[in-house]
């Protein structure tokens, strides 16, 4: 008798490739799905570019676009009657959602009403975003955090397993009131055949930055919540002190033009992918990442795998990745002076930088997608097994008679 495949309805607010760290993670999961054990149905308002060649069926739910975020469609699944029909015909064993959004809310309510277990990956640290944008208005900030906390508790305390990337984020979620037993560490992997020091290209980086310069790299979507104000402050401080340091900014986003004005001597490469991205990592000398809103920080792991020591803010996801003094340094969040001190400590000591670089590569090699995905799929199997319908004695006798 062949065992039945586990069916997973996967709700993803974005399924278009190379958009952000969430989709990077998602595509690494997708290409490792053991298809002899699992069937997936993806529900999204933002489908893959080449949906015909996507390995699993995709249901594009109803959505709207808002003027300030035209590139991101927002799902409105409650107005989509065909979605319920599609889910009913699929008969999922597990519902997985990626975001506590309207799409995620629909997923939770459908799962509860049909007695289907829920799982989720924790990608976006909303409490940090509220602190970042509304800290200057204490009353509003406190109110929004209260509302966000209630929303998070409604979602995550109904979810059987929540895959959280780092220990610091788990600790914050427990403080928020999410049940500890629902949370499990599930990090992020790195493809060390792509991100590797062997991709270093000296002639390429010399053309970009000039010869005999020390190159500081920043890779991110260029939005305020990535703490680009601190990055600009670091640039201004080091530029006043040193003429041999060159900043490289790789990425795109709404604050790009402001950054260009504030960082006139920096090199802006726009968004890079695959070989071009791995080349610029491996060809730089140090990676800086001041963001305080990360649940993980895929770019930090990419930098480490490429042999770059990292100076990152000691808050959120990167705090759980960087081994302070061994693979780089953790700096006081938003403290330009502390960032600059630790950056120069690395750049001005080549021997120390090389030791940090070797340690970084060693650490990254231990973070494989294959091992992480094996853990994820095993957890899916355990969740499905725990919720397997219990056969009554008469049903067992009936099966034996057959």
> Could you report how far apart the first and last alpha carbons of the chain are, in Å?
13
All CATH 3.40.50.2000 domain ranges in the chain, comma separated:
6-189+369-401, 197-365
Q: Is the pLDDT assigned to residue 254 strictly greater than 70?
A: yes
Average pLDDT of the residues of the chain: 90
Q: What pLDDT score was predicted for residue 389? A: 56
pLDDT tens-digit map of 359-384: 999 999 988 899 899 999 999 999 99
What is each CA distance from 150 to 100, 117, 144, 176, 178, in whole angstroms? 11, 21, 10, 9, 10
Cα–Cα distance measured from residue 120 to residue 317, given in angstroms and rounded to the nearest whole number = 17
User: Quick one: average pLDDT of 138-157?
Assistant: 90
Instruction: Please state, for a pLDDT cut of 70, what percent of the chain lies above it.
Output: 95
H helices of 157-194, in order, are 167-176
The better pLDDT of the pair 138, 302 is held by 302
| Cβ contacts of 343 within 8 Å, gap of 6 or more | 216, 234, 238, 286, 288, 311
Average pLDDT over every residue of 30-37:
95
- Label residue 3 by pLDDT band (50, 70, 90): low
Q: In percent, how much of the chain has pLDDT > 90? A: 74
On the question of pLDDT at 1 being above 50, the answer is no
Rounded to whole angstroms, the maximal C-alpha distance in the chain is: 85
Tokens 């703490």 identify what position?
Answer: 227
- Among 15-29, 168-182, 193-207, the least confident range: 15-29
Predicted confidence at residue 296, as pLDDT, reads 85
> For the ranges 24-28, 198-202, 358-362, which has the lowest average pLDDT?
24-28
What pLDDT was estimated at residue 112? 96
58-60 and 38-44 beta bridge pairing: parallel
Angle at 234 between CA 228 and CA 237, to 5 degrees: 140
What does the buried/exposed string (b/e) look like for 86-105 if buried means 16 or more CB atoms within 10 Å of the residue's CB? ebeebebbbbbbbbbbbbbb
Domain 197-365, CATH among 3.40.50.2000, 2.30.30.30, 3.30.800.10, 3.40.50.300: 3.40.50.2000
Please tell us whether the domain made up of 6-189+369-401 is placed in CATH 3.40.50.2000: yes
Q: What is the mean pLDDT of residues 153-168?
A: 94
Neighbours of 306 (CB within 10 A): 30
- pLDDT tier, 393 (very low <50, low <70, confident <90, very high otherwise): very low
Question: How far is Cα 62 from Cα 288, in angstroms, rounded to an integer?
Answer: 39
Integer Cα distance of 99 and 155 in angstroms? 9
Phi-psi label, residue 41: left if phi above 0, alpha if psi -120 to 50, beta otherwise: beta
Confidence label for 402 from pLDDT (cuts 50, 70 and 90): very low
- Among 20-29, 79-88, 288-297, 381-390, whose mean pLDDT is lowest? 381-390
* CA–CA gap between residue 27 and residue 10 (Å, rounded): 13
Around 19, how many Cα atoms within 13 Å sit in the side-chain half-sphere?
17
pLDDT band, very low/low/confident/very high, at 68 (cuts 50, 70, 90): low
Structure confidence at residue 55 (pLDDT): 95
Q: Hey, which of 110-114, 268-272, 390-394 has the most confident mean pLDDT?
A: 110-114
Report whether pLDDT(38) > 90: yes
Work out whether strand 161-164 and strand 267-270 pair parallel, antiparallel, or are unpaired: unpaired
Q: Supply 52's token pair.
A: 């015909």
- Extract the tokens encoding 251: 């990425």
- Secondary structure letter of residue 210 according to DSSP: -
């Amino acid at each position: 008798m062949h065992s039945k495949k586990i069916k997973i309805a996967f709700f993803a607010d974005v399924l278009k490739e190379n958009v952000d760290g969430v989709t990077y993670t998602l595509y690494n999961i997708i290409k490792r799905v053991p298809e002899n054990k699992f069937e997936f149905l993806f529900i999204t308002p933002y489908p893959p570019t080449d949906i015909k060649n996507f390995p699993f069926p995709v249901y594009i739910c109803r959505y709207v676009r808002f003027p300030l975020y035209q590139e991101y469609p927002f799902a409105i699944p409650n107005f989509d009657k065909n979605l319920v029909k599609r889910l009913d015909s699929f008969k999922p064993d597990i519902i997985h959602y990626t975001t506590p959004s309207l799409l995620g809310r629909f997923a939770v309510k459908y799962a509860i009403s049909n007695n289907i277990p829920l799982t989720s990956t924790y990608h976006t640290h909303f409490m940090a975003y509220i602190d970042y944008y509304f800290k200057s208005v204490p009353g509003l900030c406190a109110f929004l955090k209260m509302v966000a906390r209630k929303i998070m508790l409604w979602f995550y305390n109904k979810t059987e397993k929540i895959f959280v990337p780092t220990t610091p984020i788990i600790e914050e979620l427990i403080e928020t009131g999410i049940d500890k037993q629902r949370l499990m560490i599930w990090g992020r992997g790195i493809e060390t055949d792509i991100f590797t020091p062997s991709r270093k290209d000296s002639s390429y980086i010399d053309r970009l930055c000039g010869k005999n310069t020390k190159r500081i790299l920043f890779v991110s979507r260029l939005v305020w919540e990535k703490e680009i104000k601190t990055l600009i402050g670091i640039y201004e401080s080091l530029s006043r002190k040193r003429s041999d340091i060159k900043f490289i900014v790789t990425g795109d986003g709404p604050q790009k033009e402001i950054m260009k004005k504030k960082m006139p001597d920096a090199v802006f490469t726009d968004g890079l992918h695959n070989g071009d991205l791995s080349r610029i990592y491996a060809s730089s000398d140090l990676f800086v990442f001041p963001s305080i809103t990360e649940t993980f920080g895929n770019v930090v792991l990419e930098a480490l795998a490429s042999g770059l020591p990292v100076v990152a803010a000691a808050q959120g996801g990167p705090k759980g990745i960087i081994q302070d003094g061994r693979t780089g340094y953790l700096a006081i969040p938003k403290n330009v002076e502390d960032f600059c001190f630790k950056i120069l400590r690395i750049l001005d000591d080549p021997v120390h930088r090389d030791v940090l670089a070797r340690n970084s590569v060693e650490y990254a090699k231990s973070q494989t997608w294959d091992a992480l995905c094996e853990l994820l799929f095993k957890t899916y199997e355990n969740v499905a097994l725990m919720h397997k319908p219990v056969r009554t004695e008469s049903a067992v006798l009936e099966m034996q008679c057959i």
